[in-house]
């Protein structure tokens, strides 16, 4: 994105792709600030008005963050920075039609009007086709920014008319550093949460609590102590796991990471996620063959798919626990 600004050639439509929590929406908002900052930021080369429909003398600056325009955008109150989000599970054609009506008018006060369509993959076919007309005949002084996990999540006629910018996952070290500096998480725990987040900064923020680690310790302790000969304890454990769908999915995610660490530990002990459980791993990894761990992964994936397909929570939990103990 900064390359576009440096070159002064901003496409009329951008598509930001990457996993949830890598900063796509934040980057879109910062871009809107850069387009409209009234402060003394460092000026960049003239934009190519042939690509954006902007005045020839318009320049883009690094946002100051304190001028009236920046503050409005930061508080989501700028009339010319328009956010479109899914209504329920989808972005509907009525939302895109309303947007077309707004864009037929001149911007109220912005130098550059910016439309941010979050989770653009949620557009149904009708909404996508309505947006396509706008992409083919872009309004003056307007830039559209779509966000999605993958370019292929959008209909090809829409994605092909946008310049794709791929956001890579945030590194484990960077996430750990941010958690330590901004949330005061101790370095060991910060590294664990960073590993669990799969490169998502917002995901790391959401899970960074000592409560989660206590629950993880309980899950692993119970699971490692169970025996197929004690069916009653296995079923009691499954019952506790199946109290809530989201809680069950979170629990099997932690269990999945534990088995992943056991597989990794015997080859690269420095690359485990639950680094504070290394001593326990040294003992536990001797209990399972590599094929056994692969089979456990497969059972966890089967359970995950079953729950997401609205399978019976209690039966799924019972089946999973019994199979994990037996394998």
Which pLDDT tens digit goes with each residue over 103-142? 988 898 888 899 999 999 999 889 999 999 889 888 888 9
Collapsing DSSP to helix, strand or coil, 45 comes out as strand
Query: How many C-beta atoms surround the C-beta of residue 267 within 10 A?
Result: 8
Domain ranges of the chain: 2-166, 209-326
Host H or E run for residue 5 = helix 2-7
Q: Supply 130's token pair.
A: 């309505």
pLDDT score, position 52: 47
CATH topology of domain 2-166: Rossmann fold (3.40.50)
Host H or E run for residue 24 = helix 24-36
pTM for this model (two decimals):
0.75
| Mean pLDDT rounded to a whole number for the chain | 87
pLDDT score, position 50: 41
Determine the Cα–Cα distance for residues 307 and 155; give it in Å rounded to an integer: 28
pLDDT-above-90 percentage for the chain: 62
pLDDT at residue 49 above 60? Answer: no
Task: Identify the CA nearest to 300 among candidates 255, 234, 241.
Answer: 255
Query: How many C-beta atoms surround the C-beta of residue 81 within 10 A?
Result: 24
CB 35 within 8 A of CB 112: yes
Domain made up of 209-326: CATH architecture: Up-down Bundle (1.20)
pLDDT score, position 280: 93
Which parts of the chain are beta strand (E)?
13-17, 43-46, 59-61, 81-84, 113-117, 142-148, 163-166
Host H or E run for residue 279 = helix 278-284
pLDDT score, position 43: 47
pLDDT at residue 44 above 50? Answer: no
Give per-residue pLDDT as tens, 132-147: 988 988 888 899 999 9
pLDDT score, position 46: 41
Give per-residue pLDDT as tens, 233-266: 999 999 999 999 989 999 999 999 999 999 999 8
Q: Sorting pLDDT into bands at 50, 70 and 90, what band is 2?
A: low
Q: Sorting pLDDT into bands at 50, 70 and 90, what band is 6?
A: low
Give per-residue pLDDT as tens, 172-210: 999 999 999 999 999 999 999 999 998 999 889 988 888
């Amino acid at each position: 994105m900064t390359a576009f600004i440096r070159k002064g050639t901003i496409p009329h439509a951008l598509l930001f792709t990457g996993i949830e929590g890598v900063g796509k929406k934040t980057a879109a908002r910062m871009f809107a600030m850069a387009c409209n900052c009234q402060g003394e930021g460092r000026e960049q080369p003239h934009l190519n008005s042939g690509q954006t429909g902007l005045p020839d003398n318009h320049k883009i600056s690094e946002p100051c963050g304190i001028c009236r325009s920046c503050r409005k955008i930061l508080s989501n109150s700028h009339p010319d920075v328009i956010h479109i989000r899914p209504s329920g599970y989808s972005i509907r054609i009525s939302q895109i039609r309303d947007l077309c009506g707004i864009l037929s008018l001149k911007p109220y006060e912005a130098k550059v009007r910016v439309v941010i369509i979050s989770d653009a993959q949620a557009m149904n076919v009708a909404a996508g086709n309505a947006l396509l007309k706008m992409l083919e005949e872009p309004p003056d002084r307007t830039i559209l920014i779509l966000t999605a996990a993958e370019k292929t999540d959008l209909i090809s006629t829409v994605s092909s008319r946008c310049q794709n910018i791929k956001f890579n996952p945030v590194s484990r070290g960077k996430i750990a550093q941010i958690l330590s500096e901004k949330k005061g998480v101790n370095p060991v725990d910060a590294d664990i949460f960073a590993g669990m987040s799969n490169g998502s900064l917002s995901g790391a923020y959401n899970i960074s609590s000592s409560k989660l680690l206590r629950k993880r310790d309980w899950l692993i302790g119970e699971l490692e102590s169970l025996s197929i000969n004690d069916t009653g304890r296995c079923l009691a454990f499954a019952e506790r796991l199946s109290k809530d769908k989201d809680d069950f999915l979170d629990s099997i995610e932690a269990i999945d990471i534990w088995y992943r660490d056991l597989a990794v530990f015997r080859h690269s002990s420095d690359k485990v996620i639950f680094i504070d459980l290394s001593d326990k791993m040294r003992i536990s990894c001797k209990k399972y063959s590599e094929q056994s761990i692969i089979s456990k992964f497969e059972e966890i994936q089967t359970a995950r798919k079953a729950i997401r397909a609205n399978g019976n929570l209690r039966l799924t939990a019972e089946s999973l626990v019994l199979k994990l103990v037996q394998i």
